Every structure is written in structure tokens, then in C-alpha cells.
Chain A
Amino acid sequence: MHVVGQPPAAPARGAPGLAPATGPARALEPVLRPLRAYGEYILAAASALGVILALWAAFFYAPTEAIQGDVQRIEYVHVPLAWVAYLAFFVVFAASILYLWRRDERWDLIARANAEIGTLFTTLVLVTGSLWGRPVWGAWWAWDARMTTTLILWFIYVGYLLLRSYTGRSEGGARSAAVLGIVGFVDVPINYLSITWWRTQHPAPQLPLGGEPQAPPAVVETLLLALLAFTLLYAYLLIQVYRLHRLQTEAERLRARIESA
């Protein structure tokens, strides 16, 4: 996950006023440059192939679940989506701290890109969960602890994106968003805990998350494949969204320079 741990180095044409590429990023530039040029295509191909393979495995390789039937196959999409969403929100959290600490705008753009991806994936998690819940539980929605937490998470990060849209590309907005990115993520475990306790007296059906300890190997394999494929897809999306934000910021910067020249 080098994409996350290390912000892609600044483009060579970095405008003055933009923080210059930091030490390690610049030193690695000769290695990163070709890797970026071709690595992205490799990543795109790998994630496309991975998702296709995972879907094939979900439909044809994994066995039909005895009680739930084919509906259970949605798990192979639902679980990886949830994993990516949580991963993205963790990156928002980490990048927000780094942004407040280092004040490098690239961390802010990474946080923003991850919040967008995480919110999209959380939406899909809620939709796939509902689609699964309707036939299995007989209801689109149940106030299960995990579902409720996911829903609240969704509200927190939609709030994050709203805040960003209201504050534009200002430094003050970036700092406020970083604070929300930190508080919001810390809130997740407390939320989960409180909702679990809240529901203790009314046990709800569990999501089939790693449900049976003796799951058939084909189920485990399919799930692992799907997890890998969606993580690659996440990495690819992150690079694209991050670059989009970078270019938008750069365009706004250039426009401002022309206007004030």
C-alpha cells in the first residue's frame, strides 16, 4: 500500500508556493517515475481482472449456501466493500493527523480522496446489505449493531464531504476537515460499542461475517480473492481521485496566479 504510506512525489512542474517534494520522495523519483508510468496500467489491469475473477468465483466457484441459497453470494462483494470503506476512513484519519502536523497539502488531498472513496463504498455496503437482508431477514433494514454503526459512519463522512464543499479549497477548510476526519474516526469504535450494548437486550441476527468457523475452503478462497481484488481497485481509484484533486487544485492555483498577475 505504498500509495497510502507515501504521497506520490510532486510533479516536476510544481508551482512556487507549493511545498517541494520531501526528501525520500525526491530521492526515489527515478524509481517512482517509470513505476508510476506503467505501474498504473498494471494496477488497472490487475484490479479489473481481479474483480472479474472474484465475481466469477462468487457465482460459479463458491458453493451455494444451504440455508440462504444464492443470496449469500452477495457476501463476496459486501464484505470487501466494507473492508475498503473502513480502510479508506482509516487513511482519512491518518492523513488528517499528518496534514495538521506537516501542513503539506498533499496529505489533505489524500484525506479528501479517501473520504470520497470511503463514502461511496459505504453507500454500496448499505445497499448490498439491504439487498441481502430483504430475502434473509424479510426486511430491508434491521437495527443490528454493525448496520447502525455503518449508517452513522455514512452520516459522519457525508458531513465531512458537505463541510469540504462549503469551505472550498481553503486552508481553513482543510484544517476543519482534518479535525472532523480525526474525531469522526475515533467515534467509530465508541459508536460500535455503544450500539452493541444498546442492542444487548434485543439480539439481532448477525451478518454472515466470517459466520461459520468451518466454512468450506472454496468460500474462504473466494472471499480472500475478492478482498484482494477490491483492495487493488481501491488503490487504483485512490490514485485517480487523488490526481484529479491535485490537478483541480493546480488549475485553481494557476487561475489565481493569472488573475492576480
Chain B
Amino acid sequence: MITMITLRRFGAQTASILWKDLRCELRARQVWMAMGMFALLALVIFNFAFDLRVDNVAAVAPGALWIAFVFASILGLGRTFAAEQEHGSLDRLLLCPVDRKAIYAAKLLGNLVFIGAVELISLPVFAAIYNLPVLTGGIIPIVLLGTVGIAAIGTLFAAIAGNTRAREVLLPLLVFPLIVPVVIGAVRATQGLISPLAGDLPWLGLIAAFDVIFLSISAVTFAYVIEE
């Protein structure tokens, strides 16, 4: 009974904060446009950097795709608390009797929406310009699980870096080393999609395990980061 009520309140609070963030972000800035452009640009630049040919494209392209995703994500993650930092204040939200985990959940979902939108735009472009058969149903769980991993850690560290004077520099420095496993897993899983290997490892399982561990640690520790 009580848990049902708590859950419902948690859901309502999460939904309200998410709604507010999406609305602010859509009205004020087109950061997701910048993220999308950045991801596309990265994909084009990798093409020159690696001198892609027919014989090496399948090996190199998944790495290029995920690095483009990660870099574009960092742009969006840096704006996780933008609505609060610029015209409001996180304190003002903390004054309300709101479950701190609901704030984390809403910020995480918001990041997933924006990163997901960017991925949705760049994937077809990637498939076209690299001429690879990645637009199958198999790509969905890979992108989804990979993005959850990046955003779970990214949202937590956006709060940590946001407390410092060097927000923009610190965020990638802290996040990149921590998300190495998810990037490796996602790259390998994407490669497996293009040219399936016999006896390949359960990369999706690795990413999923990573997601679960980091979601739970982030949910527990988030409150320590944002409030006294």
C-alpha cells in the first residue's frame, strides 16, 4: 500500500520534472540540434581520418559511430542542469519535498530523450555514408542499452562537475574513463551485427550488467552530490 503510494508519487514527481526540463530545453535552446550536427560531423571526419575502404570499413565504422555518440552525448550531458543553473537554482527544487531519486530519474530520462533523438538522426546517415547494414532490429537494444549506460554515469557526473568552476572540462575527463566498458561492449555488439562472429561473447549482457550497476550506484549516491 504505502509502497504503491510512494511509487506513484515518485512517478508523478519524475514526470513533472521531466516535462519541465523538456519544455525549457525545447523552448530555449536547440542543443539537441547542435548535438546532432556534432555527431554527423564526427562521422564525416572519421571517414577522412581512417581512410575508410571497403575492406576495413566493417572493422572501423562501429568505433567511429560510438565515438560520435559519446562525444555528442557529452554536449547534451553538460546541459543536464542547465534549466536550474541558468535561470533557476537547484536549491529551489531541493526546497520542495521531492524525492532526490526522482530528480535523478527525471534528469536521466531527459538526457535519454535528447541523446536518443540524436542517435535516431545519425544512425540512418551512418548506414548510408558508410554503406553498412546496421538498420536492423538488432541495433535497437545495442543503442538503447549503450545509451542508458552512458547517460546513467553522465547524469551523475553532470551534477558533480556542475558543482565546480570547470564544469565543461571536468565532465568528459571524469566520464570517459568510467564508460570504457560500455563503449567496448557497444562497439563489439555493433560489429557483431555487421559481420557476425562465431562464438562471439554476450556483449549485450555486459552492457546490461554495467547499466544495472551504475544505475543503482548513481541513484543511491546522487543525493550526496546535490545536497548537504
Contacts and interface: CB of A to CB of B under 8 A. Distances in A.
Q: Quick check: do A and B touch in the complex, using CB within 8 A?
A: yes
B225 A179 contact: yes
B154 to A, nearest CB: 12
Given A152-B177, A156-B177, A162-B170, A183 B153 contact: yes
Contacts of B174: 159, 163, 180
A195 B213 contact: no
The interface residues of chain B, by DSSP majority, are classed as helix
B221 interface: yes
Contact of A166 (B164, B188, B197): B164
B164 A183 contact: no
Interface residues on A, range: 20 to 34
Contact of A179 (B164, B177, B224): B224
Contact of B217 (A156, A162, A178, A183): A183
B135 interface: no
B120 interface: no
Given A166-B170, A183-B221, A152 B206 contact: no
A184 interface: yes
Interface string B1-40: 0000000000000000000000000000000000000000
Given A162-B173, A166-B166, A182 B213 contact: no
Given A159-B173, A179-B225, A197 B206 contact: yes
Q: Name which of B184, B203, B224 has the most chain A CB atoms within 10 A of its CB.
A: B224
Contacts of A155: 173, 176-177
B139 interface: no
Interface stretch (A22-30, A58-66, A169-177, A243-251): A169-177
A46 B178 CA distance: 38
Contacts of B57: none
Nearest to A157: B177
A202 to B, nearest CB: 12
A201 B197 CA distance: 11
A195 to B, nearest CB: 7
Interface of A: 100, 152, 155-156, 159, 162-163, 166-167, 171-173, 175-176, 178-180, 182-184, 186-187, 190-191, 193-195, 197-198, 200-201
Given A166-B165, A175-B225, A179-B156, 15 more contacts: A152-B177, A159-B177, A163-B160, A163-B164, A163-B170, A167-B163, A172-B228, A179-B221, A182-B217, A184-B178, A194-B180, A197-B184, A197-B188, A197-B203, A198-B184
